[in-house]
Structure 1
């Protein structure tokens, strides 16, 4: 059985909707204060294809930045962005413990793949320098049709033997209040908020195309050795999505809720 935390990634598919996917990171980045050091040390935990890591380098050109990810496919794509102050390394957020102090640790659209990720926060916060920041963004849409229909289909009689236990559940992320509680304490102040984006997607079956790059990866990985089964699942799921997200005159609207948190450590 494929673990829901270890899908095989396709950077090209993921980046097909890069503009929409990057917007939450821009919104997160706008709320992160400047690190205390003139040449800060920054970790991008779950850097993916590196396309948002370069935004960190753009804001803090003197920073030494490392993007961490556990996907060889994503790291291979990210390598094209490497430079004198920007590198990439393999690491799994479920076990990664900082080996040095960081002025900023940022995690964008990663922690939903890490069970009990809140238990990792103390190690990461301990590594933040005085005046530094830990910032995260996670999708908060696990109760939406994209995920609910996928889970129901995977659990149906036809698919449960192949896909049972493959997908994440509705509690893959915490409530905003839970993140606020976890990131607030002596010498630590947190800013937590949520936003629902209305992505207007062009083309035929764009919601399916979107989910192929993210939430559907565990299914595609589990069925990778059986193309006929993969295509049959995609057809059934596509038909469900067409009903849940009907095309309109200007495209298909995909509502997408995101949760943000910025925890700042006092100097």
Structure 2
């Protein structure tokens, strides 16, 4: 079956699988044991994508019932290939409501696409069993040159006709205090931190490739096919000014990521 034009492209996303997976590895490593037991039995991977995070969950907790949820058919097909022992469900994670309390809700690089995080984080914490863990990682990139340049390019006359109506639910992340206050009525043992990853890429074209399946995707989807190459070229030219080459010709893509781990209060 052909992939719908606006669907996510799992193979393209996996071009940088090892580097994309590092934040999920770090998040899994930071998850504490459940109270009274060492392993969660019911785990939801919220916005599982191509299964890069799901496979980490099944490796750490092989006896758990792990369910990955994602909106993209292409991502889910790739995830099912990668992690056949997990279950996968096609749904919009904005509508997530657990059929039974979960001992771990894991959301790696997915919740930043959703609005109204104060309500969202309180809601997710309420889907946990008592003592269950919410573990979240979100890119904090809207103020980075990589994303500022996307918005600036969209205003140029050559593209504004097609991109002027582009709307995204993506908002700036809340402050750490806001996330704490959203979770504190329901959770304790709340941990918040930010890590800045510096991904070593071969050049400016790789920065385009990195974001073509994520942040740039809404822009590329709205452009006529014949105008995408020009948009991509102008993006690469602009990127090169903000991400200079290293001594050996590589570039460093700085990518801040914000982490939250909270335990539901018993």
Same fold (TM over 0.5): yes
The 2-side partners of 1:206 and 1:168 are apart by 24
Normalised by the size of structure 2, how large is the TM-score?
0.90
Task: Return the offset for 1:214.
Answer: 1.3
Structure 1 residues 7 and 143 mapped into 2: Cα distance closer, same or farther (>3 Å)? farther
**Equivalent position of 1:63 in the other structure:** 64
The 2-side partners of 1:169 and 1:110 are apart by 12
Say which is worse superposed, 147-156 or 198-207, in terms of deviation. Answer: 198-207
Post-superposition Cα deviations, 1:43-77, rounded to whole Å, max 9, x if no partner, equal 00000001210100000111000000001111111
The 1-side partners of 2:84 and 2:77 are apart by 14
The 2-side partners of 1:207 and 1:118 are apart by 31
**Equivalent position of 1:3 in the other structure:** none
Task: Return the offset for 1:111.
Answer: 1.1
Structure 1 residues without counterparts, runs of 5 or longer: 1-5
Structure 1 residue 233 corresponds to structure 2 residue 231 = yes
- Root-mean-square deviation (CA, aligned residues, Å) is 2.0
**Equivalent position of 2:247 in the other structure:** 249
Q: Is contact 1:162–1:222 with CA below 8 Å preserved after alignment?
A: yes
The 1-side partners of 2:256 and 2:168 are apart by 17
**Equivalent position of 2:73 in the other structure:** 72
- Within 5 Å, give how 1:140-159 maps onto structure 2: 140-159=140-159
The 2-side partners of 1:117 and 1:170 are apart by 11
Structure 1 residues 141 and 67 mapped into 2: Cα distance closer, same or farther (>3 Å)? same
Q: Is contact 1:98–1:123 with CA below 8 Å preserved after alignment?
A: no
Q: Aligned residue pairs: how many?
A: 259
SS of aligned partner of 1:200: strand
Task: Return the offset for 1:122.
Answer: 2.8
Q: Is contact 1:65–1:87 with CA below 8 Å preserved after alignment?
A: yes
The 2-side partners of 1:212 and 1:182 are apart by 32
Task: Return the offset for 1:10.
Answer: 0.9
Structure 1 residue 50 corresponds to structure 2 residue 51 = yes
**Equivalent position of 2:14 in the other structure:** 15
The 2-side partners of 1:154 and 1:236 are apart by 11
Q: Is contact 2:54–2:68 with CA below 8 Å preserved after alignment?
A: yes
Q: Is contact 1:138–1:258 with CA below 8 Å preserved after alignment?
A: yes
Q: Is contact 1:143–1:170 with CA below 8 Å preserved after alignment?
A: no
The 2-side partners of 1:245 and 1:155 are apart by 21
Task: Kindly indicate which of the two structures has a greater share of residues assigned to helix.
Answer: 2
Say which is worse superposed, 174-183 or 72-81, in terms of deviation. Answer: 174-183
Structure 1 residue 201 corresponds to structure 2 residue 220 = no
**Equivalent position of 1:24 in the other structure:** 23
Structure 1 residues 33 and 7 mapped into 2: Cα distance closer, same or farther (>3 Å)? farther
The 2-side partners of 1:188 and 1:22 are apart by 27
Structure 1 residues 138 and 114 mapped into 2: Cα distance closer, same or farther (>3 Å)? same
The 1-side partners of 2:21 and 2:167 are apart by 24
The 1-side partners of 2:46 and 2:71 are apart by 10
Normalised by the size of structure 1, how large is the TM-score?
0.90
